Amino acid sequence: MLRRMSSAAPVLSPRRRQPGGCCATPAQPTVDPEQAVALAAVAKALGDPTRLRIVDAVRSAAPEAVCQCELLPLFAMSQPALAKHLKVLVEAGVLASQRRGTWTYYYARPGGLEELTRWLN
């Protein structure tokens, strides 16, 4: 179930104009540029509905790893398309993979979403 954000209006404190421009901002970014790139990669990977569903399926199977061949029937797409989605999720650090013979198994990477969750909270 999705949580909705509070509908309360934000606080709008009076601002003083600065010479040569608008108001001085009351806040500064706390995320450095490198951390922003990492957070954006995870958010972008999860921003695709299909990839979000793939992560959901893999998380639901935990602690078992899931073979790509087991995921394929769950999604109306070709094997190469699924492989591309899985590659994006692995590169973003959301999922991890392990080869077992000719098959690749996927599982939720421990701590893969911690930094994004910590930042969102």
For the chain, 121 residues long, give each residue's pLDDT as a single digit of tens. 555 556 677 766 666 666 666 666 667 788 889 988 988 999 999 999 999 999 999 999 989 999 999 999 999 999 999 999 999 999 999 999 999 998 899 999 988 888 888 888 8
Percentage of the chain modeled with pLDDT above 70: 81
**pLDDT tens string 75-94:** 999 999 999 999 999 999 99
Residue-level pLDDT at 30:
83
The sign of the dihedral angle between the CA atoms of 49, 72, 91, 98 is positive
Domains and CATH numbers, the chain: 33-120 (1.10.10.10)
Q: Find tokens 């970014």 and name the residue.
A: 29
The structure's pTM equals 0.75
d(CA 101, CA 105): 10
